[in-house]
Amino acid sequence: MVRRVHRIVIVAVVVLLAWGLQTADAKYRYGSSYIAGKEAGFFLFGEGITVNPRNVDAIVATVETYQPYGGGVNSIWQINPVWDNNFAGRLGLGYGWPNGNKVVGTFWGFSADQRANGNGPSGGATYFAVGPPIRTDSGYVGDQGEPGSYDLTTEIEAALADIAFAREHDLGESFAIEWSVGLRYASYEETTQGLYDEAAFGTANFGQESFQANKSGTGEMIGGRVGLKGSWRFSKIFSLDASLGFSFLDGEITGTSSLTPSGSANSADTPSSRAEITDNSRSGTIQDFDLTVSWRAVGEAVRVWIGWEQQVWDGITTDLVRNFPGTVAPLRDRDSVVFSGYKLGVFVRF
């Protein structure tokens, strides 16, 4: 599968985020076909979302302090920077019929990065987390520094593309449900690049025993998605909406990691290390949930909403390149990443 496919819009499945209920004002029909309170026509919707990627565990180092005396406390902790909120967008286009049937295509995209840098504690140690430690005749190098330092940047890019068929059912005057089935394409890419040094920044030995560290992981999968949405019309122009979707995907995960000596004292006589892993028989799932409050206007032709959503990506985000032989402080496994945040959306039928 093509590693950069997520950079183009690929057709897949998503639950329709605007359901046509009973028309609030019948004078706005714009000449479209109209049966039993529903109008037929094309529709467009978009959302802006402040997304926070959670459970990424992009750990760049484990740090330890030494207090080797009576009453002392040896402390250890991981450098796992917190991600800030970043913008994600969703665009959708579809067509609906008066009988409640709909076809819709949707694209969602997200990109974020974060940087971590610092020194290990004086008299302590920094255990490196990115790149396979380098085996030499005298043991492993590129695995730790005393006190050591690190400067690494992690980037995430994720995308979804859906195509779905949906059917809406009115259950009385104030409640409606809609189910959907379709196809989904999902892509996740995570890269980490930066520098480790066995000495601290600003010291005389800094730059002598340095290592360029690189890591990347990509997951691409395609499969089916099913969704269900409920909408409760608690006033003439306002409704409370909630949706739940499940995606079942198959595809490929790849991972690469390398460590290259780059210091003035180690670049000439120390080998580099590299690991490559490809698994094209992987499966994954995505669970998504959202809850919104909508304002409806112009005879249901316009809808604006605010709300919250969460997506749980499992399997497609597995980190294959961590905890190699020689790693001093092994990391916990990472199989899932969560995207959640608040959103504002608008729907227009024309």
Whether 341 has a pLDDT exceeding 70, the answer reads yes
Return d(Cα 153, Cα 90) in angstroms, integer.
26
Q: pLDDT-derived band of residue 33, with 50, 70 and 90 as boundaries?
A: very low
Query: Residue 38: its pLDDT value, please?
Result: 66
Give the domains, in start order, of the chain with CATH numbers: 5-349 (2.40.128)
pLDDT in tens, 93-110: 999 999 999 999 999 999
Residues 52-57, mean pLDDT to the nearest whole number: 96
Q: Which of 3-12, 197-206, 221-230, 231-240 has the lowest mean pLDDT?
A: 3-12
Residues 207-225, mean pLDDT to the nearest whole number: 98
pLDDT in tens, 314-331: 999 999 999 999 999 999
The percentage of residues in the chain with a pLDDT greater than 90, rounded to a whole number, is 82
Whether 237 has a pLDDT exceeding 80, the answer reads yes
More confident residue, 32 or 125: 125
**Within 13 Å, how many C-alpha atoms sit on residue 44's CB side?**
1
Q: Do 12 and 106 contact (CB within 8 A), yes or no?
A: yes
Residues 40-68, mean pLDDT to the nearest whole number: 95
SS (H, E, C) 248-295: EEEEEEEEEEEEEECCCCCCCCCCCEEEEEEEEEEEEEEEEEEEEEEE
pLDDT in tens, 139-161: 999 999 999 999 999 999 999 99
Query: Residue 41: its pLDDT value, please?
Result: 92
Q: Which of 67-76, 214-223, 243-252, 305-314 has the lowest mean pLDDT?
A: 67-76
Return d(Cα 111, Cα 313) in angstroms, integer.
15
Residues 289-305, mean pLDDT to the nearest whole number: 92
Whether 255 has a pLDDT exceeding 70, the answer reads yes
Q: pLDDT-derived band of residue 279, with 50, 70 and 90 as boundaries?
A: very high
Q: pLDDT-derived band of residue 24, with 50, 70 and 90 as boundaries?
A: very low
Segments of 55-85 assigned E as strands = 61-64, 76-79
Return d(Cα 87, Cα 343) in angstroms, integer.
10
User: Could you give the C-alpha distances from 151 to 45, 128, 196, 271, in angstroms and in order?
Assistant: 41, 11, 7, 21
Whether 273 has a pLDDT exceeding 70, the answer reads yes
Mean pLDDT of the chain, nearest integer: 89
